[in-house]
Amino acid sequence: MSLDPYSLCPCESGNKLKFCCADIATEMIKALQLHEGGQSRVARKILEKLHQQQPARAWISTSFAGVLLSLNEPAAARDALKELLKETPGHPLGRILDATAALDIEGYDSARAAIHRAFTKGVKHHPEMVGSLAAGVSSILLDEGRYMASRQHMALAMRFVRPEDREQVIMQLLKSDSDKSIPYLLRGVHNLKPLDHLLNEEEQLTFKKSLGLSSLGCWSEAAAILTLLTKEYPESADLWSNIALFHVWDGDEEAAAKAFHKAGRLAEGRQQAIACETLGQLLDHEVNLVSHQVLYYKYESASRLLSLLDDVPRLVRQQNVPPGQSGDDEEFIQYQILNREPLQEKPSSPIDFSDIPKFIGSFVCIESPEYKGISRLSVEQEFYEETKEFLEEVAGDLIGPANVKNEQGEDLLPGESYESGWLEYHQLDEIFHFDEKVYGLTLSDMEHEKWDYFSKQLWQNTPFSALNDKTPLEVVGDTELAIPLAAAVNIFDIFADQFSHQLDTDGIREQLGLEKNEPYEIKDDAQLDSCEVLEMLRIPVESLSNEQLKQLLNRSQLIQHSRFSELVLGIALQKEGIIEEERMPQALHNFIDLAKLDFKIDVALQRVQLAREWSKRVGQEPTKALEWEMRELQFRMEDPEDPGLMDFLNKLYQQYLRKMPELEAIITNLLAMNNVLPPWYSGNIATPGGESDSNELWNPEKETEASSGGKLWLPGQD
């Protein structure tokens, strides 16, 4: 590493090296070469000595701080920058390094001011470092469940990172936008409202200043500036909506919720009012979560403990996670804990779900080099004391307090708590224990009954704070709560969609006496990509041109709203030329999966037949055509009593399996797991009388190399 004496000085003074920091260049270059060569601790000693002599010298302090950060010493890095930032508060690199260290030490909320100073001071000189800092903030916010703030910081990072890193950031953004575990309204774009019609010339300058801060990721400052305009325009829904977006992009979801509620009350248009109120309610749910308590135990004999727990009806053992499969050397043996013992006889129909046992927590035994003989109890706070007492009584002296300490005597496994699941939706978020043999129902039948109970009884009779602690049924006809009620229906849909259930929102609105949603008319093709999710769901899909339908298909597949995706995909599959032939198999699989995930088995089978007809029409090669038979087998096996199962297996054997012994063995094992005796073992195979080998559908020995281009899908694979 060498520096041209006439190049700009690394201290960022703007002067040439020869006339600035030449006196320390030799030692600095030596230290930085050592650092780049992997000898960071040696480099640290050189820089530490220089820093003691000149702590405010920019090149020294920033290089020293950078090395300390690489050694995972953020507190020392901040100390190294103190004198520099005291003397030169706006030093670009110093501010970025200080913010990076502060984020590591304090977390986002406490480091926010330092981060925003880094964004404003550093973006001109070090845009790629600002992009990396924004990406780091995005990752932390994503882990904390502040999804809109995470997405906006990722969009900020995309603008500033190095070109070679931009694709990775884009892929992360798309991954987040398609993550079904994130409520769909918190994904995708959210647009600021124009205020030109409202503001005078001077006020427009204030608005532009807030937009400038927003473009640099300083959303708390942007919200503060925009709030000044509410003194003059306290009744502007658009203004409050923009303030809400600035707050939520900044990660302040409570302030954002309040502003969205206010915008919803002030909005003149019904759809805008519902959209704002929906976001307000959703953010309220996101910050009011169910508390869970965690407690650690130790045990001496795993075999004795597991043998004991296996005989406890309230403990349901899950499949073991062997070492390596969890990403490390740990092995997990997990039990789900029920709130009561399982039912021993078939429940009445319709099912009274208040009588069905529910899972309230888990007990996990961990076997690893670091924590051998450690177990973890995790349970909802409401049931914690009772469950703790129950477990300790059952296990007796086979378990005891963990008391795992480090060399400093600190407890490595203290009791802890965490939050998960919307508090007001707690009753709807419960997981029921299901035993097909006892209940006499298939899983799909159980799911249909459950969601019928949720939508027609439980949800409509659950009080919500957004409805003044009244139930949806209690506020029917209350004009003052019509908008909050309409928004509450949207929230219910958001909740249901996370389970891939296609809620009949139109039917629920009709039951509650609510108006139908107004269609969102497309006047410009750009709207299809820029509209917000609630607007997208109101698009009259049937009226779109073929090109518009193609565009919307891509957007809907990204957001993955189950009901809307099914609508768009169903129309696209009916029209020629919307989906390219090479994409058609995946589109058909998606169409089948939408029915499968909503437990509509009959519909899924109809779509498998649709796929077969397409496969035959285009002459799909036999290995790929076989995938549709495997999809049908997947659904047939869910109900071993299905009268069509044996006929299907008979046909499958005649057309494929008798010529494919390896596949026959796989299918036989799958059937055995479901206690189904295959007809080729029972002697009930129907032979194709009069058929010769020349009429066989497919002989694998005749298959060419070109026809084996894809992996065969089998039931149980993703």
Give yes or no for residue 289 having a pLDDT over 50.
yes
Tell me if residue 393 falls in helix, strand or coil.
Answer: helix
- C-beta of residue 137 within 8 angstroms of C-beta of residue 216: no
- C-beta of residue 438 within 8 angstroms of C-beta of residue 342: yes
**Per residue in 305-315, pLDDT tens?**
999 999 999 99
Helices 25-36 + 58-70 axis angle, to 10: 10
Give yes or no for residue 81 having a pLDDT over 50.
yes
Assigned token pair, 121: 């001071």
**Per residue in 259-286, pLDDT tens?**
999 999 999 999 999 999 999 999 999 9
**The residue type at 666:** I
Residue 140 has a CB neighbour count (10 Å cut-off) of: 18
**H helices present in 418-466, as ranges:** 436-439, 443-453
- C-beta of residue 392 within 8 angstroms of C-beta of residue 399: yes
Task: Encode 161-227 in three state secondary structure.
Answer: CCHHHHHHHHHHHHHHHCCCCCCHHHCCCCCCCCCCCCCCHHHHHHHHHHHHHHHCCCHHHHHHHHH
Plot region of 507 (φ>0 → left; ψ -120 to 50 → alpha; else → beta): alpha
Tell me if residue 330 falls in helix, strand or coil.
Answer: coil
**Per residue in 534-568, pLDDT tens?**
999 999 999 999 999 999 999 999 999 999 999 99
Phi–psi pair at 101, nearest 5 degrees: -65, -45
**Per residue in 613-666, pLDDT tens?**
999 999 999 888 999 999 999 888 878 888 888 999 998 988 888 888 888 898
**Per residue in 207-264, pLDDT tens?**
999 999 999 999 999 999 999 999 999 999 999 999 999 999 999 999 999 999 999 9
Give yes or no for residue 72 having a pLDDT over 90.
yes
- C-beta of residue 66 within 8 angstroms of C-beta of residue 97: yes
β-strands 399-401, 431-432: how paired? unpaired
Among the listed residues 292, 294, 296, 293, the one whose alpha carbon sits nearest the alpha carbon of residue 375: 296
Q: In whole angstroms, what is the distance from residue 389 CA to residue 293 CA?
A: 14
Phi–psi pair at 296, nearest 5 degrees: -105, 145
Q: What pLDDT, on a 0 to 100 scale, did the predictor assign at position 700?
A: 38
Q: In whole angstroms, what is the distance from residue 591 CA to residue 565 CA?
A: 9
Give yes or no for residue 324 having a pLDDT over 70.
no
Assigned token pair, 671: 């059937």
Give yes or no for residue 513 having a pLDDT over 70.
yes
Q: What pLDDT, on a 0 to 100 scale, did the predictor assign at position 705?
A: 39
Q: What pLDDT, on a 0 to 100 scale, did the predictor assign at position 682?
A: 67
Strand partners, 8: 16
| Mean pLDDT, all residues of the chain | 89
**H helices present in 498-599, as ranges:** 505-511, 527-530, 533-536, 546-559, 562-574, 584-597
Give yes or no for residue 691 having a pLDDT over 60.
no
Give yes or no for residue 404 having a pLDDT over 80.
no
Q: What pLDDT, on a 0 to 100 scale, did the predictor assign at position 699?
A: 41
Q: Which residue has the higher pLDDT, 695 or 484?
A: 484
Q: What pLDDT, on a 0 to 100 scale, did the predictor assign at position 686?
A: 55
pLDDT-derived band at 693 (thresholds 50, 70, 90) equals very low
Burial 106-129 (b: 16+ CB within 10 A, else e): eebeebbebbbbbbbbbbeebeeb
Strand partners, 298: 374, 400
Give yes or no for residue 715 having a pLDDT over 60.
no
Residue tagged 């060399």 (tokens) = 407
Q: What pLDDT, on a 0 to 100 scale, did the predictor assign at position 407?
A: 60
Q: What pLDDT, on a 0 to 100 scale, did the predictor assign at position 368?
A: 67
Burial class (CB in 10 A: 0-12, 13-18, 19+), 540: exposed
Q: What percent of the chain has pLDDT over 70?
A: 90
Q: Which whole number is the average pLDDT over 585-590?
A: 96
- C-beta of residue 177 within 8 angstroms of C-beta of residue 559: yes
Q: What pLDDT, on a 0 to 100 scale, did the predictor assign at position 490?
A: 98
Q: What pLDDT, on a 0 to 100 scale, did the predictor assign at position 671?
A: 87
Give yes or no for residue 574 having a pLDDT over 70.
yes
Q: In whole angstroms, what is the distance from residue 387 CA to residue 590 CA?
A: 41
Strand partners, 293: 379, 417
Q: Which whole number is the average pLDDT over 462-467?
A: 97
Q: What pLDDT, on a 0 to 100 scale, did the predictor assign at position 439?
A: 73
Q: Which residue has the higher pLDDT, 361 or 443?
A: 361
Cis before 484? omega within 30:
no
Q: In whole angstroms, what is the distance from residue 184 CA to residue 179 CA?
A: 8
Strand partners, 213: none
Q: What pLDDT, on a 0 to 100 scale, did the predictor assign at position 320?
A: 59
Among the listed residues 140, 144, 166, the one whose alpha carbon sits nearest the alpha carbon of residue 155: 166
Contacts of 38 (CB under 8 A, 6+ apart): none
Q: In whole angstroms, what is the distance from residue 136 CA to residue 152 CA?
A: 12
Q: In whole angstroms, what is the distance from residue 214 CA to residue 208 CA?
A: 10
Q: In whole angstroms, what is the distance from residue 497 CA to residue 561 CA?
A: 7
DSSP state letter for 378: E
**H helices present in 191-324, as ranges:** 201-215, 219-228, 237-249, 253-266, 270-287, 302-309
Residue 388 has a CB neighbour count (10 Å cut-off) of: 16
Phi–psi pair at 422, nearest 5 degrees: -65, 130
Q: Which whole number is the average pLDDT over 189-195?
A: 95
pLDDT-derived band at 406 (thresholds 50, 70, 90) equals low
pLDDT-derived band at 344 (thresholds 50, 70, 90) equals confident
Q: What percent of the chain has pLDDT over 90?
A: 73
